[in-house]
Amino acid sequence: MVKALIIDDEIDICYLLSSILRTKNLQVSYVNSISEATISLEKQQPEIIFLDNHLPDGLGIDFIKQLKLSYPSTKVVMITAFDNYSDRTKAFNNGVDTFISKPFTKNLIYQTVDNLTKA
């Protein structure tokens, strides 16, 4: 079973995204900050991370490099309401696999998971 970790400080987004991902038979957990993510990642390594940018203890966009260095096979999806060219460019330069704007659709999440889990 594919594991996914959601890192987002908006609990409603965590619940919504968790529900969508579970319908795709993913094992889902979520945390609300970078520091909580660091602790969670020490316990289990997910195949996919859904990462918000504006978190209480830092910017997700700056956390991408650390994620990719520590967990190179993990796919990272930046998911943010603050979508602009500069952030997209920085995210891809830092190693993000996909960039999604909020609000997102269920079908977009399904398509993203399908694309990232292809053999």
> What pLDDT, in 10s, does the model give residues 57-78?
999 999 999 999 999 999 999 9
Give burial (CB, 10 Å; 0-12/13-18/19+) of 52: buried
**Concatenated DSSP letters of 54-118:** EETTEEHHHHHHHHHHH-TTSEEEEEES---HHHHHHHHHHT-SEEEESS--HHHHHHHHHHHH-
Q: What is the CATH number of the domain that holds 77?
A: 3.40.50.2300
Predicted pLDDT at 119? 54
Structural domains in the chain (count): 1
pLDDT of residue 13 exceeding 90:
yes
Q: Which domain holds residue 37?
A: 3-117
Contact of 96 with 76, CB cutoff 8 Å? yes
Name the pLDDT band for 9 (thresholds 50, 70, 90). very high
